[in-house]
Amino acid sequence: MINPKDFSAFLASRRSTRDFLPTPVEANVIEELITDGLTAPSWSNTRPYMVAVASGEVRDRISADMLRRAVVLTGFRVGSLADKIKFLFTPKAWPISDHSMIAAYPVELQPRARKVGKELYGLIGVPRGDKQAREAQWMKNYEFFGAPVELFIFAHKDLGVHAANDAGLFSQNLMLSAHARGLGTCAQGAAVLWADAVRREFKVPKGYKLLYGIAVGHPSDALINSFGAERLPAADITVLKA
Ligand SMILES: Cc1cc2nc3c(=O)[nH]c(=O)nc-3n(C[C@H](O)[C@H](O)[C@H](O)COP(=O)(O)O)c2cc1C
């Protein structure tokens, strides 16, 4: 058995990695991570998720395609009138994906999202209100932060939230397994704006919808990897007695 204190310390030491070395991660290691992911519990043991492993040329093609589209989308968000018009006439850049990314955060959760953004951008010296610099950092999502492997996680639409929940349990096991091997990971909601860029490269079975990506690789010693997002005290998410 693992000492609980050591286990807690291990869990707490996992942090999202947002800058990777180009050092490759071998296919057999990725298979081991997936195998560890599959030790997670699952709804009737259905494992209603699938993973597409993008490395090498496939990874590069998806990244290049997403980057091209992201540049046009960014133009719409923070660019000139001409950039906005270009976006409207570039349907490939429209973020029409399997799941909506546009949903607003519930009011009570907004402060948490704002806080992490403020602190992350603060650490890397992006001034408040500098939309261009923020977009430049956001754009790195489409380089998968330099990771040599990007995993795309799909969940079966017919099991709804249960499939998404199972995919999350799988992914967390996988990310912890990577962490145990000294590898870094970053879950990436940003990587699913254009599911067709992924589908073109893989035979994704019918009914599976793209949920998020996970960048996997060797962390660099860039400042951004020292970021420590706030961890809430248990009381903040514990429901009070009526
Ligand atoms: C489903 C999911 C999607 C995420 N999407 C992104 C993303 O697109 N880009 C990014 O930089 N971080 C992304 N993150 C990482 C979160 O910002 C990060 O997990 C959170 O701030 C807590 O930090 P930690 O992972 O270092 O503990 C995502 C995390 C999850 C679970």
User: Is 15's C-beta closer than 6 angstroms to any atom of ligand 1?
Assistant: yes
- Going by alpha carbons, the residue nearest to atom 28 of ligand 1 is 187
Q: CB count, 10 Å around CB of 198?
A: 24
Which distant-in-sequence residues (6+ apart) come within 8 Å of 178 by Cβ? Answer: 33, 184, 185, 216
* 16 CA distance to ligand 1 middle (Å): 7
Cα 155 from Cα 100, distance rounded (Å): 15
Please report the atom of ligand 1 found closest to the CA of residue 171. Answer: 31
User: Is 141's C-beta closer than 6 angstroms to any atom of ligand 1?
Assistant: yes
Vertex 62 angle, CA 217 and 177, to 5° = 25
Count CA atoms closer than 13 A to 241's CA, side-chain side: 0
* 7 CA distance to ligand 1 middle (Å): 22
Q: How confident is the model at residue 36 (pLDDT cuts 50, 70, 90)?
A: very high
CATH number of 17-225: 3.40.109.10
Angle formed by the axes of helices 56-78 and 81-88, nearest 10°: 130
Q: What is the pLDDT of residues 74-125, one digit of tens each?
A: 999 889 999 999 999 999 999 988 887 767 899 999 999 999 999 999 999 9
Q: What is the pLDDT of residue 180?
A: 98
Cα 51 from Cα 67, distance rounded (Å): 22
* 10 CA distance to ligand 1 middle (Å): 18
Q: What is the mean pLDDT of residues 168-197?
A: 97
- Going by alpha carbons, the residue nearest to atom 10 of ligand 1 is 188
* 25 CA distance to ligand 1 middle (Å): 21
Q: What is the pLDDT of residues 43-82, one digit of tens each?
A: 999 999 999 999 999 999 999 999 999 999 999 988 999 9
